[in-house]
Amino acid sequence: MYIGIDIGSTNAKIACIDRDENIKILLMKKTGFNSKITAKSLLLDAKKKFDESDNIIVATGYGRVSVDFANKTVTEISCHAKGACKIFDKDNLVIIDIGGQDTKIIDVENKTVKDFIMNDKCSAGTGRFLDVMSKTMELTIDEMCKIAEFGGGVKISSLCTVFAESEVISLIGRSEKKENIANAIVMSIVDKVATQTKRIDYKNKTVCLTGGLSEINFIKNALCESLNTDVLADSTGKFAGSIGAALYAKELEAKNEKFT
């Protein structure tokens, strides 16, 4: 079995594929404090579902180095590119991945990374931003995004998470409607991500959304509108990194680099 493990800042994911690149297993759990233990337990859970001892493992994600039993590590950028090409069955893609602590826009040509943009160390425009804001709103991220659809008319101007939070607090203080504040929060992230995407020539390519937020329709639709193009999403989108890593594991065997 070819196994990809993606240790993200919030969630850890595992993907197992067979010789014919059929996706056999996809599992996810919270990364928690110890990414090494999380990775091991994910592997154990996966192994309950198949009996094969000959496995090749590639680790990715920000915690990739802690997966010390992996045969190789590959960055999440390369893995996402590969995984998304598989999920959406395309060779050329522009991938928008809104992750827990960073957002990546990846330009893929012929299934390989041509260019990418990643936000710097600040958390504006990442999942972290939504996380902080939803706590202030006393909602879950899902709930916040759902009610955002019914709001509008309010804007948050600060890009910085800390300043934006105080804007939200003052909106709450002014008894602005929850829906409107939620809308302002979600739109602020959509605007930021759309601006980043516009630095890449996406017009003649398929744009897709991966990562934890890809199943939130409101975000997807708002991105469609802002970029003026279709944006694809898929329920396996959040596994793109781990699927890509599993595909790298298969390549590894082909290159016979298994034990490097």
- CA distances 251 to 27, 29, 72, 75, 257, Å, are 22, 26, 11, 15, 9
Q: Is 221 in the site for other proteins (CB under 8 A)?
A: no
- Residue from the set 102, 165, 167, 179 that interacts with other proteins by CB under 8 A: 102
- Residue from the set 34, 49, 50, 114 that interacts with other proteins by CB under 8 A: 114
The residue range among 49-57, 112-120, 131-139, 179-187 that interacts with other proteins, by the rule CB under 8 A, is: 112-120
Of the pair 38, 134, the CB lying nearest other proteins is at: 38
Of the pair 115, 230, the CB lying nearest other proteins is at: 115
Burial of 191 (C-beta count, 10 Å sphere; 0-12/13-18/19+): middle
- Residue from the set 113, 159, 172, 224 that interacts with other proteins by CB under 8 A: 113
- Residue from the set 2, 116, 202, 239 that interacts with other proteins by CB under 8 A: 116
Restricting to residues 55-84, name those near other proteins by CB under 8 A.
Answer: 62, 74-78
Of the pair 117, 172, the CB lying nearest other proteins is at: 117
Nearest to 130 by CA among 173, 217, 189, 176: 189
Restricting to residues 150-189, name those near other proteins by CB under 8 A.
Answer: none
The answer to whether the CB of 97 falls within 8 A of the CB of 238 is: no
Pairing type for strands 11-17 and 2-7 reads antiparallel
Min CB(73)–other proteins separation in Å? 9
Cα–Cα distance measured from residue 92 to residue 117, given in angstroms and rounded to the nearest whole number: 16
Q: Is 118 in the site for other proteins (CB under 8 A)?
A: yes
- Residue from the set 20, 54, 89, 120 that interacts with other proteins by CB under 8 A: 120
Cα–Cα distance measured from residue 245 to residue 224, given in angstroms and rounded to the nearest whole number: 28
- CA distances 212 to 78, 128, 161, 166, Å, are 18, 11, 19, 25
- CA distances 137 to 151, 216, 252, Å, are 14, 18, 46
Q: Is 195 in the site for other proteins (CB under 8 A)?
A: no
Q: Which residues bind other proteins (CB under 8 A)?
A: 62, 74-78, 102, 112-116, 118, 120-121
